[in-house]
Amino acid sequence: MNKRKISENTIRRLPRYLHHLSELAASGKKCISSLELSQILGISPPQIRYDLGHFGEFGRKGYGYYIPTIRKEISRILGMRYGYKAILLGCGNIGRALLCNFDFSNYGFSLLCGFDTNPEIVGTVLNGVEIKSMDDLESYLAENHVDIAVLCVPRTAARAVADILAENGVEGIWNLTDTYIAVPQGSVIVENVHLSDGLLWLGYNIKEKAYEDEKRKLRLARQRTEVSE
Amino acid sequence: MNKRKISENTIRRLPRYLHHLSELAASGKKCISSLELSQILGISPPQIRYDLGHFGEFGRKGYGYYIPTIRKEISRILGMRYGYKAILLGCGNIGRALLCNFDFSNYGFSLLCGFDTNPEIVGTVLNGVEIKSMDDLESYLAENHVDIAVLCVPRTAARAVADILAENGVEGIWNLTDTYIAVPQGSVIVENVHLSDGLLWLGYNIKEKAYEDEKRKLRLARQRTEVSE
C-alpha cells in the first residue's frame, strides 16, 4: 500500500470523519457501518469505503468499522501526534475567539503564545496564553521553533506579517484574515480560510430549494387541474 | 443546458472563483486564461474549464475569460441577488468578530439584528446592528421573514436554538458553534462550519513536506556516496 496515493479530496474529508467518529466515541459507540456513517456525514457508502480503505482493512463484514482503530489511524495520517507548536498573531475579535474558545490541544497542537500591537493587551494572559508584543515576533522566532502561525491580524497587515513568518522558518500559516496570501511554492504552506464560502453555499441551496418547491407546487396544481377536467 | 447538473463539488468551488475574480477585478484586470486562474487557485485548467463551462461559453480562444461576465454569472448561480435576510445569534467572541469584521452585504445578505442573553449587551448597537434579547427571538421570527441564521451561541445551547429557528421558518443555519447540528431532511438547511478542518489539513501537509524533505536528503546522500565510490 503506497501512502502517496491518498488524494487531496480524501485528505480534506478526513477531519470530518475524525470529528464525527470522536462524537460517536464520546457517546459510547464502538462500531459503525459505512451506511450509518454515510447518513451522518452525507457522504455515499462507496466513497466512505474508498476513503477509509486507504488506511488498511478496518471494516469487518457484518460489524462495520471499529471506531477506536479508525480514529487512531486518521490521527496518525493527519500528523496529530507530532505535538505541533503554534503561535497566534492578532488578538482582535477573531483571534480572541480562537484563544478563548478553540481547543488547540484537542487537535494535537500546543499554543505557545499570542502576539498583538495593542499595548493594552500586550503582557496580559488570555485563557492561559501570554500575549507578547508584535515587535518581539522576529526575536521570538529566532529562539523558538514554531510549526504553525494562526494569522488573525487586520487584512492590511496580513502580507507583511506573513513575510516575517515565512522568512523565519514557520512551516504553516492558518490564514484567517479573509485575504488571500500567496507564497512561493515550496516555502511556507498556507491554508486560506474563507468563512464566506459556507454562507454562499447556503444561499445557493436556499435558492435551489425555493425553485424545487415552486416546481412541486406547479406539478400538484397541474395534477389537480387534470383530475377536475 | 440543464442547470440541475451542477455538481456539489463545483458549487463548493464557486465561492473561491468569485473571491479571486473579485480581487482581480479590483486590481483592474478584465480577462484571465484558465491557465492563469489555475496558478492562482491551485485548480487544474481542465477542472476550471469544466466548472465554468456549466454557465455557458464565457471563454474566448486567445482572450480567456471575461471577468465581469463570470463574476455576474457566479453571483446569479449562488443567489446573491435575492437580498437574503440574516440574523446573528450569540454575540460572544466569534459572533462579535462577525458583527464587526464580516461584510454580509458584500455577499448579498442583509444582517437585520443580533440576539444575545447577556443583559449588558441587549439593547446596544454593535457596528450598526441592534442586539435584541434572545427571549424575543420567537416573536421576532413570527413578525419578520428571516432566510438565514448565523449561529454563534455556546455549544451547549446550539441544539435548542436551532430547533426554535427550524420551527419558525428560518431556511438556513450557518452553524459556527463547532458542534454538529443534524436536522430532518427537507426542513432547514444547515452548513456546519468546522474551523479545525483547515488546521488539521495544515498539520498533514507539514508532516508530508518533512517526509519529502527527508527522502530528498537521503537521495542526495546516496548520490554523493555513489559518486565518491
Q: How confident is the model at residue B97 (pLDDT cuts 50, 70, 90)?
A: confident
Chain-chain contact of B194 with A15 (C-beta, under 8 angstroms)? yes
What integer is the mean pLDDT of B204-216?
88
d(CA A40, CA A35): 9
Q: Looking at chain A, which residue has its C-alpha nearest residue B76?
A: A204
| Residue B220 amino acid letter | L
Cβ within 8 Å of residue A43, ≥6 positions away: A13, A37, A51
Nearest CA-CA distance, residue A229 and chain B, Å: 32
Nearest CA-CA distance, residue B173 and chain A, Å: 8
Q: Looking at chain A, which residue has its C-alpha nearest residue B21?
A: A180
Share the mean pLDDT of chain B.
Answer: 88
Residue numbers of chain A with a pLDDT score lower than 50: 1-2, 4
Task: Tell me which residue has cell 506579517.
Answer: A161
Strands (E) across B43-108 are located at: 65-66, 84-89
Chain-chain contact of B201 with A97 (C-beta, under 8 angstroms)? no
Cα dihedral A24, A29, A30, A35 sign: negative
* Interface predicted TM-score of the whole assembly (ipTM), two decimals: 0.85
Query: Would you say residue B229 has pLDDT above 80?
Result: no
Question: Which pLDDT score, from 0 to 100, does residue B185 have?
Answer: 65
Query: Would you say residue B96 has pLDDT above 50?
Result: yes
Q: Looking at chain A, which residue has its C-alpha nearest residue B43?
A: A8
Query: Would you say residue B182 has pLDDT above 80?
Result: no
Question: Which pLDDT score, from 0 to 100, does residue B94 have?
Answer: 87
How many degrees, rounded to 5, is the angle at CA A171 between CA A133 and CA B215?
155
What integer is the mean pLDDT of B9-20?
90
How many Å from the N-terminal Cα to the C-terminal Cα in chain B? 66
Instruction: Flag whether the pTM goes above 0.90.
Output: no
